[in-house]
């Protein structure tokens, strides 16, 4: 055992270390150097040209869909229309009224004329006890609500009462981009509500400033009946436009139901069309960058536009099938695919 531990094992270790050392020397000093500039057949290139699109024909179906909500129609306020005082209520507060029903009476005292007595003293005008009458009527059917009290003085713009209708409407927010897609104001929409009745058609569609169609109609103080009333003001919005239509009476609905409102604003088949990203402008006129087939240069060209489905837009005039244009007009950035990473 002493021979193995003192002679054999140490000798084996020395041989192993010698083999390792020799291998390291060969790798470091004796191996043939690799060619630093070997031709691997790869040529470094980069393409910074803008993506192009070849103009083709397409079918454009201009369906504009927005999120819709069933809402209660707003109360309508009725103004006095003349100066005087509230002299008479024909209907009790909170009563259900019908359109055109007499509600209140504005009275204006008839004053005597100023005159002089026998001694030359001026006698000021005085109340004769008589007055003119002006009747205010309900602008629509609904529940009456008093705003002023009996004998209160009023001016032309004083709100005397309001009527809350028992009707519903379907309302949605239309983005400015979608508003541009509605070249002609449509008059109806298809409504589909979640958990509600079967889809139905909603007519008398109003958009933007037309959402509240009731306008004031003041008269003079001649004693004629006054029907001046106006809808409650709506909050202005810089990001969306209201789209609203009255719910059909035959459809049973409840305020708060949500769903979608779809407007078919036009359809064009087999027309010249390009991606919206290729066009500067989306309403009536626009501009594209056409690739000159001879030189490859980009040339600005004004075009006339038609319908759009939100992705493609019809070109009425200015381009032909087969033309090559920039796929992304200056200012219209290409969306990156996260799986592809950055484009350099």
pLDDT of residue 63: 84
Q: What is the pLDDT of residue 236?
A: 42
| pLDDT given at position 215 | 35
- Selection from 250, 307, 251, 310 nearest residue 283 by Cα: 307
Are 159 and 83 part of one and the same domain? yes
- Identify the domain containing residue 57 by its residue range: 52-62+267-326
Q: Which pLDDT value is given to residue 233?
A: 39
Residue 16 in any domain: the answer is no
List average pLDDT for each run of 10 residues in the chain, which is 344 residues long.
Answer: 65 75 69 54 59 88 88 91 91 93 90 67 67 89 93 92 91 82 80 90 81 40 38 46 88 90 85 88 85 86 86 88 87 52 39
Whether 81 is covered by a domain: the verdict is yes
Q: Are residues 79 and 161 in the same domain?
A: yes
Chain segment 134-187, per-residue pLDDT in tens: 999 999 999 999 999 998 999 999 999 999 998 899 999 888 778 777 767 788
Quick: pLDDT tens for 174-183. 887 787 777 6
How much of the chain exceeds pLDDT 90, in percent? 24
Residue 125's pLDDT is: 67
pLDDT at 260: 92
* Sequence-separated (6 or more) residues with CB below 8 Å from residue 2: none
Contact between 170 and 245 (Cβ < 8 Å): yes
56 and 89 assigned to the same domain: no
Say whether both 56 and 80 belong to one domain.
Answer: no
For the question of whether the overall pTM of this predicted structure is more than 0.85, the answer is no
- Residue 200's H or E segment, with its range, is strand 200-203
CA 57, chain centre distance (Å): 29
Asked whether residue 161 falls in the same domain as residue 86, the answer is: yes
Tell me, yes or no, whether 56 and 81 share the same domain.
no
pLDDT at res. 3: 62
Total domain count for the chain? 2
d(CA 189, CA 200): 9
CATH number for 286: 2.40.420.20
pLDDT at residue 8 in the model? 63
| pLDDT of amino acid 240 | 72
What is the pLDDT, as a whole number, of residue 225?
36
């Amino acid at each position: 055992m002493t021979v193995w531990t003192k002679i054999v094992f140490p000798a084996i270790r020395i041989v192993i270390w010698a083999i390792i050392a020799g291998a390291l020397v060969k790798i470091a000093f004796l191996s043939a150097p690799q060619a630093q500039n070997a031709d691997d057949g790869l040529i470094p290139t980069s393409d910074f040209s803008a993506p192009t699109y070849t103009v083709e024909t397409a079918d454009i179906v201009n369906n504009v869909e927005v999120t819709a909500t069933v809402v209660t129609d707003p109360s309508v306020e009725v103004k006095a229309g003349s100066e005087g005082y509230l002299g008479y209520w024909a209907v009790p507060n909170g009563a259900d009224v019908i359109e055109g029903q007499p509600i209140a009476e504005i009275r204006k005292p008839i004053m005597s004329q100023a005159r002089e007595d026998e001694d030359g003293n001026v006698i000021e005008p005085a109340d004769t006890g008589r007055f003119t009458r002006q009747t205010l009527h309900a602008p629509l059917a609904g529940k009456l609500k008093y705003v002023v009290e009996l004998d209160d003085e009023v001016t032309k713009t004083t709100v005397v009462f309001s009527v809350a209708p028992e009707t519903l409407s379907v309302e949605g927010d239309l983005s400015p981009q979608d508003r541009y897609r509605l070249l002609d104001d449509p008059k109806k929409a298809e409504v589909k509500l979640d958990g509600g009745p079967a889809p139905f058609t909603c007519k008398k569609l109003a958009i933007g400033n037309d959402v509240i169609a009731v306008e004031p109609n003041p008269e003079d103080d001649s004693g004629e009946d006054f029907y001046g009333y106006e809808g409650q003001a709506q909050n202005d919005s810089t990001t969306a436009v209201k789209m609203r239509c009255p719910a059909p009476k035959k459809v049973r609905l409840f305020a708060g139901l949500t769903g979608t409102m779809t407007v078919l604003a036009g359809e064009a088949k087999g027309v010249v069309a390009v991606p919206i990203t290729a066009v500067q402008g989306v309403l009536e006129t626009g501009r594209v960058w056409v690739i000159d087939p001879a030189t490859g240069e980009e040339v600005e060209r004004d075009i006339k536009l038609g319908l759009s489905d939100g992705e493609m837009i019809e070109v009425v005039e200015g381009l032909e099938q087969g033309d090559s244009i920039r796929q992304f007009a200056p200012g219209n950035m290409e969306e990156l695919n996260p799986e592809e990473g950055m484009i350099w």
